Amino acid sequence: MFFTYLRRELRRRRKAALVVASGLALGIALVIVVNSVSSGMGKAQDKVLQSLYGLGTDMTVTKAADPQEEGQAAGPRFRFDAREDGSDEEQSSDRVLVQGFETLASSTVAKVAAQDGVSNAVGGLSLQVVKVSGQFTRGKIQEQGQGPGGKIVIPQGGTVKGGGADFDVNTYSVFGTDVTEPELGPLTSSKITSGRTFTSSETNAKVVVADASYAKEKKLAVGDTVTIKGVKYEVIGIATPESGDAAANLYIPLEQAQTLSDSANKVTTIYVKATDSQRIDAVKSAIQNNISGTTVTTSADLADTVSGSLSTASDLATSVGKWLSIVVLAAAFLVAGLLTSSAVSRRVREFGTLKALGWRSGRVTRQVVGEAVVTGLVGGVLGIALGLAGAYVVTAISPTLQAELGGTGGATTGPGGGGGFAGGPGRQAAARTLDVALTAPVSVTTIALAVGLAVTGGLVAGAFGGWRASRLRPADALRRVE
**pLDDT confidence of residue 408:** 41
Out of 22-36, 56-70, 197-211, 306-320, pick the least confident: 306-320
Phi first, then psi: give them for residue 42, nearest 5 degrees. -60, -40
- Please state which of the ranges 32-41, 153-162, 242-251, 368-377 shows the lowest mean pLDDT: 153-162
* C-beta of residue 424 within 8 angstroms of C-beta of residue 53: yes
481 half-sphere exposure, CB direction, 13 A CA radius:
0
Higher pLDDT, 480 or 228: 228
Confidence of residue 165 (pLDDT cuts 50, 70, 90): low
pLDDT tens-digit map of 423-461: 444 333 344 566 677 778 888 888 888 888 778 877 777
For the chain, what percent of residues have pLDDT higher than 70?
Answer: 60
The secondary structure element, H or E, covering residue 142 is strand 140-142
Question: Which pLDDT belongs to residue 3?
Answer: 64
Bin 466: left if φ > 0, else alpha if -120 < ψ < 50, else beta: alpha
Over the stretch 24-67, which tens digit does the pLDDT of each residue have? 888 888 888 888 887 777 677 666 655 555 556 778 888 876 65
DSSP class per residue in 10-48: HHHTHHHHHHHHHHHHHHHHHHHHHHHHHHHHHHHHHHH
Q: Could you please report the per-residue DSSP string of 253-288?
A: EHHHHHHHTT-TTEESEEEEEES-GGGHHHHHHHHH
**Cα(first)–Cα(last) distance of the chain, in Å?**
24
Question: Would you say residue 107 has pLDDT above 80?
Answer: yes
Residue 13's pLDDT band (cuts 50, 70, 90): confident
pLDDT for 175 equals 93
Choice among 149-163, 189-203, 357-371 with the minimum mean pLDDT: 149-163
Round to whole Å and give the CA distance between 414 and 420: 9
Q: What is the pLDDT of residues 111-139, one digit of tens each?
A: 999 999 899 999 999 998 887 766 656 65
Backbone angles phi, psi at 423, to 5 degrees: 90, -10
Task: Read off the DSSP letter of residue 141.
Answer: E
Closest CA to 352 of 228, 472, 193: 472
Q: In angstroms, rounded to a whole number, what is the distance separating the alpha carbons of residues 463 and 319? A: 30
Burial category of 337 from C-beta neighbours within 10 Å (exposed 0-12, middle 13-18, buried 19 and up)? buried
What mean pLDDT value characterizes the chain?
Answer: 74
Instruction: Average the pLDDT over 253-279 and give the result.
Output: 89
pLDDT at 460: 76
